[in-house]
A and B are shown apart, each in its own frame.
Chain A
Amino acid sequence: NAGVTQTPKFRVLKTGQSMTLLCAQDMNHEYMYWYRQDPGMGLRLIHYSVGEGTTAKGEVPDGYNVSRLKKQNFLLGLESAAPSQTSVYFCASSYFNPSMTGEMRGYTFGSGTRLTVV
């Protein structure tokens, strides 16, 4: 199983350009998340989705949009990239049932997309 796949792995953008980061999961998970990781700031939630066709804002949603048209895919868009959006982006997915224990209660993460905006 591939798990969670993020594309692209690296990208350099010029200020003002747009791009879309793709996240795909093959585990039939209901919930998907987009995080950014910056030095000293840990993992900050940008947007998340609790099911196909639904999205919600996380802690740092400004400057980003998302779509979940298919259950297995979660897209993160930057309409007009800014240097402050230089970061490593992680997608994650999960399935929740309160009776689950251990690793099943957690997320499966992709390997990340390193984005540089110049």
Chain B
Amino acid sequence: DQQVKQNSPSLSVQEGRISILNCDYTNSMFDYFLWYKKYPAEGPTFLISISSIKDKNEDGRFTVFLNKSAKHLSLHIVPSQPGDSAVYFCAASDGGSTLGRLYFGRGTQLTVWP
């Protein structure tokens, strides 16, 4: 059973507007969450992360919000740019028990159109 879920397989947003990508998880032992970005013909690359002791982390145009009570996190991209078009994977780690193994969602394809 999937412990990390991204229920929207795709999202289309106009350039300059906000993109919001959502992720839900079931394992309350997850202590760290990461977002990866993947372009075609390339491997996933790290984008941004958040510890479970925080509720927000910001890096330039990218902000990740964590709602532990709802077991939900979201990635906000403001403003969205055509170069942001990629697949975004949400991942979670439960630290000690599995030596940092990551559990991935199925990804959301973001398309930013001019």
Task: Tell me the A residues contacting B by CB distance below 8 Å.
Answer: 4, 31, 40-43, 48, 50, 90, 92, 94, 96, 98, 101-103, 105-107, 109-112
Bound form: Cα–Cα A31–B102 in Å: 11
Bound form: Cα–Cα A4–B44 in Å: 12
Is B75 interfacial (CB 8 A cutoff)?
Answer: no
Which residues of the partner chain B approach A40 to less than 8 Å between Cβ atoms?
9, 106
Given A42-B89, A50-B99, A94-B100; A109-B49 close (CB under 8 Å): no
Mask of B27-62 contacts with A, CB within 8 angstroms, 1/0: 000001010100001111110010100000000000
Query: Quick one: which of B9, B41, B49, B51 contacts A106, CB cutoff 8 A?
Result: B49
A43–B93 CB distance below 8 A:
no
Task: Tell me the B residues contacting A by CB distance below 8 Å.
Answer: 6, 9, 32, 34, 36, 41-46, 49, 51, 89, 91, 93, 95-96, 99-102, 104-107
User: How many cross-chain pairs have Cβ atoms below 8 Å apart between A and B?
Assistant: 61
- CB of B54 to closest CB in A, whole Å: 10
A107–B102 CB distance below 8 A:
yes
A105–B43 CB distance below 8 A:
no
14 contacts between A and B (CB under 8 A): A40-B9, A42-B6, A43-B107, A48-B101, A90-B43, A94-B100, A103-B46, A103-B49, A105-B32, A105-B34, A106-B36, A106-B91, A107-B44, A112-B43
